[in-house]
Amino acid sequence: YTSGTTGNPKGAMLSHNNMGTNARDVAGVLKTTEKDRFLLAVPFFHCFGCVMGILGSIIYGASMVPMPVFKAKEAMELIEKEKVSIIYGVPTMFVLELEEFRKHGYNIDSLRTGIMAGAPCPVEIMRGVMEEMHCNVCIAYGLTEASPVITMTRFEDPISKRVETVGKPLPGIEVKIVDDMHNEVPTGTQGELACRGYNVMLGYYKMPEKTKEAIDEEGWLYSGDLAVMDEEGYISIVGRKKDMIIVGGFNVYPREIEEFLFTHPKIQNVSVIGVPDKVFGEVVMVYAIPKEGTTLQPQEIVDFCKGKIANFKVPRYAKIVDQMPMTASGKIQKYKLREEAKKLLESGELKPLKLK
C-alpha cells in the first residue's frame, strides 16, 4: 500500500518481476556482497523495507539486522555492535541518527554506505551523514507504484550531484518531465516526472479509474512530483504538485524553504505548508521541532528568513512542536498539518508573526 502521505493509502499491485528486478538493481548500485550487513529500521510492510531491504539482502546473500521500532540510540548501538555496513532510512531517521552521533560518538567504522529515501533529502543532512559519519550514502527516489525506486545517485557521481539531485534512472527505466498536458518539456524546465519500464505497477487494487489517472495508454506512470532534469540527465525533485503554495500568484515550493530552515542552528526537523489568507490566497506556515536542549520561538524563524529569501516566501505563521504526524514509514503527513492549521486559524489561536 502507498504511504498515505497526501491522503488515504491505495493498494499498488506489484508483480514478482517488478519487485525482484528493482531490489536487485538498487542493491547493485550499492555494490552489495555477501559480506555486507544491513540495518533495516524501515517497516517491512512498506516497499523500502520489503523490497529494497529484505529482497535486496537475500538476492546478494547479505545479512539483515532488523529493528522492530526505530530509535536513534538503539540504531547507533546496533551499527557499532553488529558491525553494520549498510543503513536504510527516511531523512527523519538520518536527522536523529546524526544528532545522536554528534552527541555521543560511536565506533561505526564498519559503516560503508546506505540509502536515504522516502521523502526529500535535506542537503545539510546529506552532507553531515557523508562527512561526519563517513557513510557514503546514496539518494534514491521513487514511489510505491514504481516498485519503488526510479532513480538513484551513484558512488562515482560528482559530490554536488550526490547531495543536490536524486541521480539518474535505474537500468530499464525511462524518465521524462512533462507539462500539465503531458507534453515533454525542454531540459532544465520544471514539470511533472513520469516513468516507464519494468517497474511500473500493474494498477491500483480495485481502483480502475485511479489507475487510468496514474498510467496512460503508452505505459507512462505519472508521479505527481515536480522535477527538473539537467543536461547530463540528473534529476532534481522540487516537491509534490499537491504541496505547492500559491502566494499572491507566486509559486512557492515547500522544499526550498525547508532546505533553508535546516541550516537554522536550533531546528532539528521542519515542515512547510500553505494556509488560507484573505489577501494573498495562501501564505507560508512552518511547523518546526527544535533540537534537544534548545528553546525556539516562532518569531526566530521569521527573523532568520528575512532578507535571505524572497519576502513572499517568508513564513507568516509558525508553530513549535515536539512531534509531527507521520506515516508508519516515517513520512510527515502534510495534509494533517494543513487540517490542524486551518482549525487553529479559524479558532484564532494562531497569530500572524511580525514581518518587519
The pLDDT tens digits of the residues spanning 307-342 come to 999 999 999 999 999 999 998 788 899 999 999 999
Instruction: Give all domains of the chain, ordered by start, each with its CATH number.
Output: 12-171 (3.40.50.980), 244-347 (3.30.300.30)
Residue 132 has pLDDT above 70, yes or no: yes
What per-residue confidence (pLDDT) applies to 5? 61
Which is nearest to 327 in space by CA: 27, 100, 70, 39?
70
Mean pLDDT of all residues in 146-163: 96
What per-residue confidence (pLDDT) applies to 119? 80
Mean pLDDT of all residues in 185-191: 97
pTM equals: 0.84
pLDDT for 209-256, tens place per residue? Answer: 999 999 999 999 999 999 999 999 999 999 888 898 999 888 899 999
Q: Which amino acid is at 33?
A: T
Q: Which band of pLDDT confidence, cut at 50, 70 and 90, is reported for residue 206?
A: very high
Strands (E), 73-137: 86-89, 113-116
Residue 4 has pLDDT above 90, yes or no: no
How far apart (Å, rounded) are the C-alpha atoms in residues 166 and 171?
A: 15
3-state secondary structure at position 196: strand
What per-residue confidence (pLDDT) applies to 108? 98
Residue 95 has pLDDT above 70, yes or no: yes
Residue 114, strand partner residues = 87
Residues 217 and 230: beta-carbon distance below 8 Å: no
Q: Report CA 277 to chain centroid distance, whole Å.
A: 28
